[in-house]
Structure 1
């Protein structure tokens, strides 16, 4: 005794709704939908979806055949039974498909003696495709009932496909926005945003390009205001980790007890005020880069905890015994003389060597005075955008800027030019508006090589009259360029004088 079609259709409809609610990936679920229809006697089910580019009906799922067999087959709107159902937006039900001239049978799988039903798949006023089935039903089943049931299934598929297409479109939009933001960020933090054509800055750029490719720990050194954070940004955004998180922390801005919680995180109840568990900066930066500014300011006790993370990539949250493992590239920066801090016991020697894998030394502005005009113009352009007006920097102002020694480096230059822009009523910045914070003598060309003029001696000049660079060169000359002897003359350790030679750009003579 055969089961009436109405009972089969109810069971099939229930299974179809279950399948469609399981996933938003309609390409994956449509095959299961056609399986459910086949169990109800609707065999050789086919789902075709409109190609958004060509507008053609492309077969997306076909019961009983692999994709390779049907992928090339497509229909224009109005072409064949499928095209007609799409164009008219109405069900096409044929009693004997072999006798209907509209049926093209391009796939060659349908029984010409059986009926054929094609129902448009639509949702939200859009025609998205066509569902087609060939009923192989018990005697007495009305084709009208089959057509109505096929229409219901097509409507369910339509809602599922519409939702999936909207999600895909949203994902594509978000991906395009993400890529646009990445391009913007890379432009903002790339090399083009760092102004400098001097030999010393070109050397820094070469170092950054080389080290950005690897996961090597970097230690950026230089005086306050030389742009250490800009270099850290450029390293991250030009590295393979650019798609990962970039987390920054100024170690000097927090006391030690808060610094540990900030870097490693804490568990609920770990201390007063810890009302919930919280990730630290290391966890947040997993898979990316962590920039630790002012690394020289952390206490010796905390240095030991930091050393373990750098060596093993492991740590525990405050108040927890569970060990967490992270993959983080560390970039550190400091203006302090770490060699002197190691000698005095204020900085652990093992941490110093762990951080100092790839040192990048940023020259102070007074040692790259040829960059000042370009820097000044760049800063003035940025201020003009902020103020929403045109600003002009005159040559007289540039000459005055170049003659100053800039103890506060680029940060002081920025402050000076912003102050001048505020004071300029007509947008013209001349020498009169350049108000320098400190009275410093002109250095002429501070980047000139020591070989241009004879090196001074410690005995022939009062120490107060000599710059630090001149004193170090004089000591080296007096000691026959033996660094240990020169260090004793200056009251330094060998490590300290080696650091001075590096940051002052002194070319060591070899005999």
Structure 2
């Protein structure tokens, strides 16, 4: 008796092990369930077996897999909850044992199991399959029961353990499927976002201001409308001009650039309109100007705000008539040219001062695109720095890379020279770096060797105050834009004002100029702090002495009003 029980226990343990191992081989539950049923039938002398699962609405039970049933019989595996033995087991979540299906009124004989052995009793065992605390299906088997003398307690126990393992396998499969579906939805969403977002080749820009620029570029490019690009020096106006040309129907024609600030008035006239032979000393042959060379294409006039008043009149006539005469000639030359102009000057102020013709201003300011300075799109700095470093590595056969601390230094700088200055800084630092990994200590600004503070006049009239730093994604992944969240610099964190540094202590009356409060800042105090920091080159200790407060009080004051300390 003891040996018999031990043998039965060992057989059940082997069955559980084999079923579990089979179910773990794949997420294809129809395949693994069928293999598990095959093993159970051979191990326990069962005749047929099948698994039915509830549909999404729990309104029907449909066959998933079966062993011992023909394809036609498997197609008939469909039950309503509460219908027949299988439906009752599903609805009640309780095992069922039918000693002889021939005498059971609830047995539907839907697959013809009772017809195969008319003279022999056929027992049916069914157990619910549960997952996540609810019944999701039914596992059923049948076997011959000669004389109805077989005891099925052990079979029901094995069947229950197998159904439990199947429920866990179903739960895992559905969890993975849900995760996969969510991932597919996210991929589709990203593809849709990429299709609707406006990207420009060779231009890095994921920030909202640059996305706005990209949208305007895509919108204006198909037309022949004159475009005026505005923004500080180094913001990439020529790159955007080339992008407009590349997205226009004229992309197969010439793109001609002229820097108006680099030429005198006489040279600029000859450069743009060309000249006839003998028109001046040294004119030994006829020469076509840039307008003619750009015929059918695009002419980009950079620094348009620096041309003289007399040349403004000549340019206005060309823009109106779309024709001109070469220097020293009298024959009109007609051209089909799209104009893109750029300036970093305040043209409206120049018009008010009489330095720029109002009629020319209205002629060129048809569509105006404002390019944001780099400090207003700090989210783009890590990716742009990586782009410049990748180009340096390709050109020099090196494998240098930034660490997160280095990217934080780049993301915190004021960058008065914008993209051009960032590119220069990356190349200089990569050239002089001692190690393959560029750290924060490799930058000149960390050792007071940066000349930006000397070159940039922070007290000029058009200087822009820095805004608060946003959280910029920074990660140490070579050759890829950073994605891990970065810590916000300490200067952008608000701390309570200490008792010994009350707002009234910041500066004495008459020591700093009073300005109107801006951006909701308290009137007077915020502007005194900015004035003192600008006067002292953004050195906190010097500014504190100017305001006759301690450096500690100065630090708290800067944090209180959210003033970002410019780093050079």
Q: TM-score, normalised by structure 2?
A: 0.46
Change (3 A) 1:466 1:205: farther
4+ residue segments displaced more than 6 Å: none
Distance of aligned partners of 1:442 and 1:393 in 2 relative to their CA distance in 1, 3 Å threshold: farther
Matched, 1:225 2:234: yes
Whether contact under 8 Å (1:247, 1:289) holds in the other structure is yes
**Alignment-derived partner of residue 292 in structure 2:** 283
Q: Which of 530, 543, 554 does residue 465 from structure 1 map onto?
A: 530
Q: Give the match for residue 366 of structure 2.
A: 357
Say which one has the larger Rg.
2
Q: 260-269 vs 433-442, which deviates more?
A: 433-442
Q: 1:259 aligns with which of 245, 268, 284?
A: 268
- 1:335 and 2:359 correspond: no
Could you say if the C-alpha distance between residues 286 and 454 of structure 1 is closer, same or farther in structure 2, counting changes exceeding 3 Å? closer
How far, CA to CA, are the matches of 1:335 and 1:447 in structure 2? 29
Deviation at 1:271, TM superposition (A): 0.6
Match of 1:212 among 185, 206, 221: 221
Counterpart position of 2:432:
423
Count of residue pairs brought into register by the alignment: 275
> Is 2:333 the counterpart of 1:324?
yes
Q: Is 1:385 the equivalent of 2:394?
A: yes
384-393 or 315-324: bigger deviation: 384-393
Question: Can you give the 5+ residue segments of structure 2 that lack an aligned partner in the other structure?
Answer: 1-198, 459-464, 473-493, 495-517, 533-568
Which whole-Å CA distance do the structure 2 matches of 1:459 and 1:428 have between them? 45
Whole-angstrom CA distance in 2 between matches of 1:259 and 1:392: 44
Which residue, 505, 518, 521 being the options, matches 1:456? 521
Structure 1's 272 and 444: CA in aligned 2 closer, same or farther, altered over 3 A? same
Match of 2:469 in 1: 445
Matches within 5 A, 1:90-109: none
1:81-134 C-alpha deviation (Å, 9 max, x unpaired): xxxxxxxxxxxxxxxxxxxxxxxxxxxxxxxxxxxxxxxxxxxxxxxxxxxxxx
- Counterpart selection for 1:193 from 196, 202, 211: 202
Partner residue of 2:318?
Answer: 309
Q: Compared with structure 1, are the counterparts of its residues 400 and 263 closer, same or farther at alpha carbon in structure 2 (3 Å cutoff)?
A: same
| Equivalent position SS for 1:240 | coil
- Secondary structure of the 2:201 match is helix
- On the 8 A contact 2:376/2:467 being kept in 1, the answer is no
Distance in 2 between residues matched to 1:201 and 1:447, nearest whole Å: 17
Superposed CA deviations along residues 341-371 of structure 1, whole A, max 9, x for unmatched, are 1111111111111111000000001111111
Shift of 1:443: 5.2
Who is 2:408 aligned against? 399
User: Displacement of 1:444 after TM fit?
Assistant: 3.9
Q: CA separation of 1:302/1:454 partners in 2, compared to 1, >3 Å: closer, same or farther? A: closer
SS at match of 1:242: coil
> What's the offset of the Cα at 1:192?
2.4
Does the C-alpha gap of structure 1 residues 463 and 302 become closer, same or farther in structure 2, counting only changes over 3 Å? farther
Looking at structure 1, the residues matched to 345 and 367 of structure 2 have their Cα atoms a distance apart, in angstroms, of 17
Contact 1:262 1:280 in 2 (8 A): yes
SS state of the match for residue 309, structure 1?
Answer: helix
Change over 3 Å in CA distance of 1:446–1:352 after alignment to 2: farther
Q: Is the Cα contact below 8 Å between 1:264 and 1:282 reproduced in 2? A: yes
TM-score normalised by the chain length of structure 1: 0.51
Closer, same or farther: CA 464–350 of 1 in aligned 2, 3 Å: farther
Cα RMSD, aligned residues only: 2.4
SS at match of 1:193: coil
Structure 1 unpaired stretches of 5+:
1-189, 468-511
Spell out, residue by residue over 1:303-352, the C-alpha distance to the aligned partner (whole angstroms, 9 max, x if none): 01101111110100000111111000000000001111111111111111
